[in-house]
Structure 1
Amino acid sequence: MTHPTATLVEDTTEVTSQTIRDALRDAIVDRRLAPGTKLSEADVGTIFKVSRTLARSALQALSYEGLVVVERNRGAFVASPSLEEARQIFASRRILEPGILAEAARRIGPAEIAALRHLLKEEERLIEARGQHARRAEIKASGDFHLALADMAGNAVLRRFMDELVARSSLVIALYGQSAISSCGHQEHEAIVTHIETGAIDEATAMMLHHIDHIEADLDLRAKTGSDLKEALLQSL
């Protein structure tokens, strides 16, 4: 039987800083690594069978995205956004996403609508599922909907901005969010697609802003504890 660690990468001789960064980023965005979790260079190096230098490079790349905080003499930790940072993240999304939606709507045809509806179908399936893993996957599917719209806008710079904002939103939801809004959020996604399909772009934009407001309104002050690095990286395999 193959050891589960081996399945993190196909060939450990080809592990790069980007490989490590992507795996850690996925674990953070999927909420397998909770805000505040310590990311030891030694532990990361051991899990991926690489040097601490390579592990450090991956952690540094994540710090540039705001997903990891590197503290002198303490090490690296999954970022724990403050409430003010959370407000800024959602304020940024209110500015950015209406423009993305408008640009995407100009390019969206039947094939793109079908792709969006496929994402919505998967999101609905995950909402109906049970368990912690399904909840994490549902949150990721919700983020994927927003990223798909950014892809359809055809602007690589905006797509990178959205990639960071969605990832940081996931951290905020992990730290402050509740789970009660899932089905409502899905219904709002459906309404956005329907408005785009019928050419009602103003209504789609209004629903997008309402949707972002809805997510932010769900934030609270409940603290979440850190999680185990190795367990978080391996549990999805």
Structure 2
Amino acid sequence: MNKIDDTSWSRDAIAADLERAIHEHRLPPGTKLGEDDLAEAYGISRTIVRAALLALSHRHLVQLRRNRGAFVAQPTPREAREVFEARSLLEPRTAHSAALRMTEADLALLNANIRDEHAALDAGENGRALLLSGQFHLEVARIADQTTIEAVISELISRSSLIIALYWRRRAALCETQAHHALLDAFARKDGAAAEELMKNHLLDLVASLDLRNVAPPPASLREALQR
């Protein structure tokens, strides 16, 4: 395997790169994250790799198993329900607050995000589309200017990516484009009540698109996933 062409990898950079690969579903749930393989791929020491994996475990993206190593986390059906229940409690009110604070610059940013999401879907890059979908929700939380809630939503969205990777049964598990467009229209009108209701219904639709009895196929190899 060719090493990743960069010698400046820090713990945080490794963690961020692996997190992106997880969100884009290049590293599906259950993938073994071997320290030796990662150290070779990034051209760094196992000590840095170990620190990055520990950081990701704190975000519930990686599971550290005694005497077995590190694996991309595999949320249970119960965890999946709890994550989306938490999102349904937080994000509708956040959307309401964001609508009242929305600026033209914010609208332009969200609109660009939707365009990029469309392009990814059209190109068949479902993992990237999912990442962009999550970023849309994170931007809404940022615009609402509720720092503590934004941090919680960020973790919930990260965990949602794993849940969708394991349990999605149809393309609608990616945020449906019309749902984001409808939210954008409500934001443009500064209609907080409409934005709140739309976000609530949107999250319910996401849950309905999951089959919590289903388990994804075995993960691809780590070596293939980390190739650029």
Q: Distance in 1 between matches of 2:102 and 2:203?
A: 22
Q: Distance in 2 between matches of 1:96 and 1:184?
A: 17
Does the aligned pair in 1 maintain the 2:99–2:191 contact within 8 Å? Answer: no
Match of 2:161 among 170, 185, 195: 170
Question: What is the match of residue 139 of structure 2?
Answer: 148
Question: What is the match of residue 211 of structure 1?
Answer: 202
1:50 aligns with 2:36: no
CA RMSD of aligned residues (A): 1.8
For residue 15 of structure 1, give the secondary structure of its aligned residue in structure 2. coil
Q: Distance in 2 between matches of 1:217 and 1:149?
A: 22
1:230 aligns with 2:223: yes
Question: What is the match of residue 63 of structure 1?
Answer: 57
Question: What is the match of residue 127 of structure 1?
Answer: 121
For residue 169 of structure 1, give the secondary structure of its aligned residue in structure 2. helix
**1:102-117 counterparts in 2 under 5 A?**
102-117=96-111
1:179 aligns with 2:177: no
Question: What is the match of residue 149 of structure 2?
Answer: 158
TM-score, L = length of structure 1: 0.89
| 1:126 shift after superposition | 2.5
Indicate how the Cα distance of structure 1 residues 191 and 197 shifts in structure 2: closer, same or farther if over 3 A, else same.
same
Q: Distance in 1 between matches of 2:149 and 2:39?
A: 33
1:76 aligns with 2:70: yes
2:219 is matched by which residue type in structure 1? G
2:61 is matched by which residue type in structure 1? L
1:86 aligns with 2:77: no
| 1:41 shift after superposition | 1.2
Q: Distance in 1 between matches of 2:98 and 2:183?
A: 12
Match of 1:6 among 1, 4, 8: 4
Q: Distance in 1 between matches of 2:108 and 2:42?
A: 38
1:191 aligns with 2:185: no
The total of aligned residue pairs comes to: 226
Q: What fraction of aligned residue pairs are identical, expressed as a percent?
A: 36
Does the aligned pair in 2 maintain the 1:175–1:223 contact within 8 Å? Answer: yes
For residue 160 of structure 2, give the secondary structure of its aligned residue in structure 1. helix
String of CA shifts for 1:160-182, please: whole Å, max 9, x gaps. Answer: 22221111101000000123316
For residue 178 of structure 1, give the secondary structure of its aligned residue in structure 2. coil
Does the aligned pair in 2 maintain the 1:80–1:171 contact within 8 Å? Answer: yes
Greater mean alpha carbon deviation, residues 154-163 or residues 79-88: 154-163
String of CA shifts for 1:132-190, please: whole Å, max 9, x gaps. Answer: xx111111111111011112122333222222111110100000012331687110111
Match of 1:26 among 16, 20, 26: 20
Q: Distance in 2 between matches of 1:54 and 1:195?
A: 45
Q: Distance in 2 between matches of 1:85 and 1:182?
A: 17
Q: Distance in 1 between matches of 2:173 and 2:156?
A: 19
Question: What is the match of residue 91 of structure 2?
Answer: 97
| 1:198 shift after superposition | 1.4
| 1:4 shift after superposition | 5.7
Greater mean alpha carbon deviation, residues 142-151 or residues 118-127: 118-127
